[in-house]
Amino acid sequence: MVTINLAISGILAILVGLLILIVPRLLRWAIGLYLIIVGILSFIPM
């Protein structure tokens, strides 16, 4: 079980690293939009 989880997390880490190398602009947009949405939602009372 543990080795499978480690393998999956390793693969995910590699994929994320590749994404960061390939599309840093897209990643920045995604992070910026996420932060803006979270900020707006925090002002809306649930």
Torsions phi, psi for 23 (to 5 deg): -125, 65
Write down the pLDDT at residue 34: 92
Write down the pLDDT at residue 36: 92
Write down the pLDDT at residue 1: 61
Confidence of residue 46 (pLDDT cuts 50, 70, 90): low
pTM, entire model: 0.44
Token pair 């690293």 is found at 17
Distance separating alpha carbons of residues 4 and 2, to the nearest angstrom: 5
pLDDT tens digits along 1-45: 677 888 888 888 888 888 778 887 887 888 899 999 999 988 887
Write down the pLDDT at residue 19: 79
Distance separating alpha carbons of residues 7 and 9, to the nearest angstrom: 6
